[in-house]
Structure 1
Amino acid sequence: MQAGWTGSARPGDRIGPYTVLSELASGGMGRVYVARSPGGRTVAVKTLLTSDGGNIAPDDRRRFAREAALAQRVHGPFTAGIVAADAEAPVPWIATEYIPAPSLRDLVVSRGPLPVEALPWIAAGTAEALVGIHAAGLVHRDVKPSNILLPGDGPRVIDFGISQAADLTRTGTALGTIPFAAPEQARGEPTTPASDVFSLGATFFFLVTGRSPYRGMGEGTAMEQLVRAAEADLDLTGLPAGAAALIRPCLAVEPAARPTPGALLALVEPVLAARPRAHGAAAWLPDDWSDAIERHRRQRTEEADEARRTVGPDAATARTPRPAPPRTRRLPRPAPARRRTGPLLGVALAALLAGGGGVYLLSRPDEPLVVRQDLRLALVEQSEQGECTDKLAPPTFYDKKQNICYRISTRDADRMSVRRLKQVRTQFDTQFAVMVTFEEGDGQRFSALTARAATRQPPQNQIAIVLGDRLISAPLVNSRIDGDEMQISGAFNRTEADSLVKELGG
């Protein structure tokens, strides 16, 4: 790597001693690569994006070096261990243990909320991870479902190595973090270990309900949502009684009233001790969750193995990576607030504009995109594990990644076709998703469809997104989604997301 390098690499390039096999993800903070160590170990290497022609301020570099050194002191079975880091590289990087596992967010979106009985197992691992992170002098600052992976032997908290080095590329609260940020964090105040505990409680709430504990997350503008978080506008309806004793204390508005991670661990330890023979996902999780974890592991492992074969151990690794082409960041459109925001409005707006959110345009906003005539959305009527058979009457669609067959509704009120989109773009928050912006009429129909879905019981509260004869995704809907945007997620890698964007007219 040479001066001026921006953090973009290709298979065969070298980052420090690691040979890049493939790009795993890319977003507002940086890029993540699957790489091979000289001894053959598979690792994840994260490079931080630069904002000034590849230059990084000396203070930022010193901050990164300090946080990376602290992160290397974190050891434990429930974190993604830091293997190595280089704060003096043209673009600082961190190499971590590679964990081929889905995130908690992906599992809830694809499988629905977690049964309360399984929560203590995940809570114990994540609380123990925070104990180790805080003991090393770190505050994570970005605990959320997409930053907790779930392999079969227990959860792994990731991204703590660059959590406090985030000032390299952004300040304040990132858009994707608002639903899980502590109120003081949303206000731009200093964060503490207690802020991580709130975010962990919000993550637990999402696990068992499928939504954020804040009122109206996903409704209105991003600025309005940030203000709700800053004002601690909580809505805990639907919290199962069996999870309340664990979750409610974490969501205390005052940081001093929240339990420590050690106290959380002590609370769930007796539950685990009562089942001494219960080990791993198969013993604690629903079968469909365990099956999804194993399928993800196999897929990611096979992809890494194939990349190894393609690159080869003797492949040239000294090339200087080409800089990525410039991208245009989209700022949210101003909109009048629906509720009084008071003096917090200025703070919220500043944090909103500072937080990048990792959203980029792939087309000019003033050029409507013509999409294929067969993009359809429809409510799910039935679902069944495995490939589609005669058990479900047509129309049925098979989700290969999740190994689920869905039968969709044929009622006009339960479906819509989309002829044209205003925008198509990628969004990255640990994993790729595709964001589409509807024209005004379709946006209203989409909101009405989500309102219908939110009143139904699983699996009928899912909306199947169908392109031609192919099911793209079937997200769960727990509340009406107002606005003209829809996120299409499905554990996409970069190639899959780019391909879908092109199919949709990008």
Structure 2
Amino acid sequence: MQAEWVGAARPGERFGPYVVLTELASGGMGRVCLARSPGGRTVAVKTLLGATAEGGVPEADRRRFAREVALARRVRGLFTAGVVDADAEAPVPWMATEYIPAPSLRDLVASQGPLPPGAVYWVAAGMVEALVSIHTAGLVHRDVKPSNVLLPEDGPRLIDFGISQAADITRTKTALGTIAFAAPEQARGEPTTPASDVFSLGATLFHLVTGRSAYRDMGQGTAMEQLVRAAEGDLDLDGLPAELGPLILPCLALDPTQRPTPQALLAQVTGVLAERPQARGATDWLPREWSGAIERHRQRRTEEADSAQRRIDPEAVTERTPPARSRTRPLPRTAPARRGPGVWIGLGVAGLLATGGIVYALQPDDEEPPLQVRQDLRLALVEQSHSGECTNQLPPPTFSAQDPPYCYSISTKTEDRMNVRQLDDVRAKFDERNSAWIIEMTFQDDDARSFTTLTERASKRQAPQNQFAIVLGDRLISAPAVNEAITGGEVQIAGNFTKESAEELAKELGAR
């Protein structure tokens, strides 16, 4: 049946031949749903907010949507999300594009921290090639920013042509795009050109390596004050690695005529990439934390799509996305840890946890099957925190907690972080004394000693830096405070658990 709703997407609804699986996002004027074709291809379907099956779409909105479809169809390139199908004249206008189950650059910087300089050229190459495709089609994107760049294993994709314009159309007096990444002339409401996209590219790359906007104090003050700083080109480029200056600084030239063309940038970045001819995808170019987060996101999104499809039609054809290449090797098994006294850590659980990779520890055949241990369980000291949702007030990587909402910025120093290599045991358990469900984790020897060292460092710091964050994948489990070093191999995690949520968390942590 044809969609007839104005609220959230309903699984099973159709846009043309595409069956809605679930809603992905909603904001601005559009809503994006995950859908599947009759042949099992997964696509992202964008529709207008407020549309009804009776055709209740304001004519101006319909024209704007039709224009977006027409512009997006003009772009052909490996590093953009191509249009698969569309019907701007339908009662509920829709556009189906390639679905890319990958996190955005914004999300990766927020969860994993800034990108090392050596990896930036690989990301830049894909973004520049996308701009070449867009500009060759006679368009200006006008909203290049970290949240509009998805990063799958095979390279970045520049998405969202919602405010793009044909290069031969003159538009003035309108500041469009996101101010933190918009060119000064765009913030002033002047005509935008391909050079404006180049500035936004440079601002996005600057954010990749510093975690902040290239404009001074962006995120501080009123919206008008921030707009004025952008319009005046008030830049603060402290923290830009010297080796990236030749790539990024010319892009941020205040005079549009002084910025390099995408073709010139492409020659520059491909020259650097040629020095590593064997390197191909994310696992070759990015830090392990980044490539691991990309693969976990792909796995989670693929499983969610398949699960949604099974709920709608258990017999339907499904599409499998092959896993990315992995550098992970099995970990050798060490001697089991001696269990110390249990340590109670009161937690505020931040929500459901992402699925992810597993490392299998090797052991002799006559022992019980090896414990499946999450590869992405890590601990880090908290540097700053504040109540409310995470914004750009705190340096990345940042993590959010809910009920009540709180934001934590964690340390990126090696001595302040700990990747859990192997657990000896993990289980959900009902604590009779406190009448509550808990999770018990037992570290092996090396990890137990690292945990003691980490909590000792935390205990010597002033609040809130006497907290440490427990992070699984890209989700925060908790950020407890400690007043003294925690010794012993066994740790008890307490929270507002039900039996089901405790067992689910234990399973995510590696319980059998």
TM-score range, shorter chain: 0.5 to 0.7
The one-letter code sitting in structure 1 at the alignment partner of 2:69 is A
Indicate conservation of the 8 Å contact 2:347/2:478, yes or no.
no
The residue that corresponds to 1:212 in the other structure is 213
Report if aligned partners of 1:178, 1:186 keep a CA contact under 8 Å in 2: yes
Question: Residues 38 and 437 of structure 1: is their aligned pair in 2 closer, same or farther, counting only changes over 3 Å?
Answer: closer
TM superposition score normalised by structure 2: 0.62
Residues 411-455 of structure 1, C-alpha deviations (whole Å, 9 max, x = no match): xxx78796xx7x999xxxxxxx9899999xx9xxx9xx97xx79x
Task: Report what 2:6 is aligned to.
Answer: 6
Between the aligned partners of 1:218 and 1:459, the Cα distance in structure 2 is: 30
CA contact (8 A) 2:348 2:401 kept: no
2:15 equivalent in structure 1: 15
Per the alignment, residue 81 of structure 1 pairs with 82
Distance, in Å, in 1 between the alignment partners of 2:162 and 2:314 is 28
The equivalent position to 2:378 in structure 1, one of 381, 405, 424, is 405
Question: In the TM superposition, what is the alpha-carbon distance from 1:61 to its structure 2 partner?
Answer: 3.0
For the aligned residue pairs, the C-alpha RMSD in angstroms reads 4.2
Q: Distance in 2 between matches of 1:248 and 1:124?
A: 16
Residue 96 of structure 2 corresponds to 95
Give the structure 2 partner of residue 127 of structure 1. 128
Mapped to 1, the partners of 2:390 and 2:79 lie a distance apart of 37
Q: Which amino acid aligns with 1:28?
A: G
Cα distance between partner residues in 2 of 1:23 and 1:114: 30
Paired with 1:233 and 1:375, the residues of 2 have a C-alpha distance of: 40
Q: How do 1:65-464 and structure 2 match up within 5 A?
A: 65-160=66-161, 163-164=164-165, 172-173=174-175, 177-312=178-313, 403-408=376-381, 457=413
Aligned pair in 2 of structure 1 residues 424, 282: CA closer, same or farther (>3 Å)?
Answer: closer
Structure 1 residues 194 and 6: CA distance shift in structure 2, 3 A: farther
Superposed displacement of residue 404, structure 1: 3.2
**Shift in Å, 1:160:** 2.4
Q: Which amino acid aligns with 2:378?
A: C
Deviation digits for residues 16-65 of structure 1, max 9, x if unmatched?
Answer: 22100011111223211110112221000111224999744445433432
Q: Counterparts of 2:207 and 2:390 in 1: how far apart (Å)? A: 27
Distance, in Å, in 2 between the alignment partners of 1:148 and 1:82 is 16
Letter in 2 for 1:41: R
CA distance in 2, matches of 1:460, 1:376: 22
Please give the per-residue CA displacement for 1:353-386, whole angstroms capped at 9, x wherever unaligned: xxxxxxxxxxxxxxxxxxxx97699xxxxxxx99
Q: Which residue does the alignment assign to 1:31?
A: 31
8 Å CA contact 2:71–2:161 kept in 1: the answer is no
The DSSP-based 3-state class of the residue aligned with 1:74 is: coil
Secondary structure of the corresponding residue to residue 277 of structure 1 = coil
Structure 1 runs (4+) deviating above 6 angstroms are 1-4, 51-54, 414-418, 433-439, 461-467
Q: How many residue pairs were aligned?
A: 370
Matched, 1:48 2:16: no
Q: Distance in 2 between matches of 1:17 and 1:172?
A: 37
Percent identity of equivalent pairs? 64
Aligned to 1:189, the other structure's residue is in SS state coil
SS at 1:299's partner residue?
helix
Q: Distance in 2 between matches of 1:88 and 1:233?
A: 44
Note the C-alpha offset of 1:273: 1.9
Give the drift of 1:145. 0.7
Whole-angstrom CA distance in 2 between matches of 1:416 and 1:287? 26
- 1:458 to 1:65, Cα distance in 2 relative to 1, 3 A: farther
Shift of 1:66: 3.5
Which whole-Å CA distance do the structure 1 matches of 2:386 and 2:64 have between them? 50
Q: Is the 8 A contact 2:202 2:249 kept in 1?
A: yes
* CA spacing shift, 1:20–1:126, aligned 2, 3 Å: same
1:471 aligns with 2:490: no
Change (3 A) 1:19 1:187: same
Residues 122-142 of structure 1: CA deviation (Å, up to 9, x unaligned): 111110111111111221111
Residues in 2 aligned to 1:200 and 1:213: alpha-carbon distance in whole angstroms: 11
Bigger mean CA offset, 58-67 vs 281-290: 58-67
Q: 1:436 to 1:27 in 2, by over 3 A?
A: farther
- TM-score (structure 1 length as normaliser): 0.63
Structure 1 position 238, deviation (Å): 0.9
Q: Counterpart of 2:258 in structure 1: which amino acid?
A: A
Structure with bigger gyration radius: 2
Change in CA separation of 1:472 and 1:46 when aligned onto 2, cut-off 3 Å: farther
Letter of the structure 2 residue corresponding to residue 44 of structure 1: A
Q: Does the C-alpha gap of structure 1 residues 297 and 7 become closer, same or farther in structure 2, counting only changes over 3 Å?
A: same
Secondary structure, aligned partner of 1:160: coil
Cα deviation, 1:226-279, whole Å, max 9, x if unaligned, reads 221121110011111111111111111122221111111011111122222211
Deviation by residue 1:273-313 (Cα, 9 ceiling, x = unmatched): 22222111111111111111111111111111111111117
**How big is the shift at 1:198?**
0.8
Change (3 A) 1:202 1:459: farther
Equivalence for 1:366: none
Q: Is the 8 A contact 1:376 1:416 kept in 2?
A: no
By how many angstroms is 1:459 displaced? Answer: 8.1
Mean CA deviation greater in 232-241 or 6-15: 6-15
> In structure 2, how many angstroms separate the alpha carbons of the residues matched to 1:57 and 1:152?
40
Question: What secondary structure does 1:35 align onto?
Answer: strand
Aligned partners of 1:227 and 1:472: how far apart in 2?
Answer: 39
Q: In structure 2, do the counterparts of structure 1 residues 134 and 424 end up closer, same or farther at CA, with 3 Å as the change threshold?
A: closer
Structure 2 distance, partners of 1:191, 1:7, is 35
Distance 1:235 1:10, change over 3 A: same
CA–CA separation in structure 2 for the residues paired with 1:193 and 1:7: 37
Equivalent AA in structure 1 for residue 379 of structure 2: Y
Q: Compare 220-229 and 155-164 and name the one that shifted more.
A: 155-164
Distance in 1 separating the partners of 2:103 and 2:260: 28
Distance 1:156 1:473 in 2: 33
- Please give the alpha-carbon distance, in whole angstroms, between the structure 1 residues aligned to 2:468 and 2:47: 33
Q: Secondary structure at the match of 1:90?
A: coil
Supply the distance in 1 between the matched residues of 2:375 and 2:469 (Cα, whole angstroms). Answer: 15
The structure whose residues are more often helix, as a share, is 1
Cα distance change on mapping 1:125 and 1:473 into 2, 3 Å: farther
Report the AA paired with residue 404 of structure 1.
L
Contact 1:67 1:138 (C-alpha < 8 Å) held by counterparts: no
Q: 2:229 aligns to what SS in structure 1?
A: helix
Higher relative contact order (CA 8 A, sep 6+): 1
